[in-house]
Amino acid sequence: MNQDITECQHFSNGNIIFQKIFTSLKKVDTLLFLCLVGFVTLIPLIFYPQVKSTFTMPKLLILRWISLASILLLTYKMYTERSFSYLKTRFLNYLSFYAIAVLLSTIFSVQIYASLFGTYGRFVGIFTLLNFLYLPFLAINVIKTKKQLHALITISIGIAFALAVFGLMQKYSDPDTSKWGAVFQKIVGNSKYWTQDPTDRVFGTVGHSNHFGAYLSFHVMLALGMLLMLKNWWKRILLGFSAVIMVMTVFGTASRGALLGLVAGAAVFALFTLKIIWPKNEKKGYSILAAFVGMLLILFILRGFLLEKAKTLNVVQRSLETIQFMREGNIPDRVSWWYSSWEMFKDRPIFGQGLSTFSEVYNGYRRRDYRVPENIQDTTTPEYAHMEFFDILATQGIVGIVFYFLLIGSVLLLLAKSVWKGKKSDQWVHLGILTALITYLGQVLLSFGVITTLIFFWLFLGIGIVAVFLDRSEEVQEKKIALGKKTVLIIACGVLFLSLAGFYFAFRHFEAEYYFRQAKQESKLGNFQQAWIYYQKTIYLMPYEYVYFHDYAEDLFNVTSEYITRSSDEQVSTLEKNFYEIVGVFMRAIEISPKQPYLHANLGLAYLTVSDIYGQLHRKEDAKKLYELGVQEYKNSIELGKNNPIYPYTLGYAYYKLNEFENAIPYLQMALEIRDPMKNIYYLLASSYFQIGDKVKALEWVQKAQEDDSETAEEHQLFKDIVGAGTDIDPEIETEIDTRTNL
143-148 CB contacts, 8 Å cutoff, 24+ apart: 143/33, 143/36, 143/463, 143/466, 143/470, 144/29, 145/470, 146/426, 146/470, 148/33
Segment 160-212, tens digit of pLDDT:
999 999 988 888 877 666 766 666 676 767 666 676 777 788 888 898 889 99
Please state, rounded to an integer, the average pLDDT across all residues of the chain.
83
- The answer to whether the CB of 614 falls within 8 A of the CB of 626 is yes
| Residue 11 pLDDT | 40
Residues of the chain with pLDDT under 50: 1, 4-8, 10-19, 21-22, 474, 567, 731-733, 735-743
Q: Which residues contact 580 (CB under 8 A, 6 or more apart)?
A: none
Alpha carbons 656 and 50: distance in angstroms, whole number:
43
| Residue 23 pLDDT | 54
Q: At what angle do helices 2-45 and 146-171 cross, to 10 degrees?
A: 30
| Residue 298 pLDDT | 65
| Residue 207 pLDDT | 85
| Residue 82 pLDDT | 78
Alpha carbons 437 and 445: distance in angstroms, whole number:
13
Q: What region does 64 belong to: left with phi over 0, alpha with psi -120 to 50, or beta?
A: alpha
Burial (0-12, 13-18, 19+ Cβ within 10 Å), 603: buried
Q: Rounded to 5 degrees, what angle do the CA atoms 273, 278, 281 make?
A: 120
| Residue 737 pLDDT | 46
pTM over 0.85: yes
Closest CA to 597 of 378, 348, 340, 383: 378
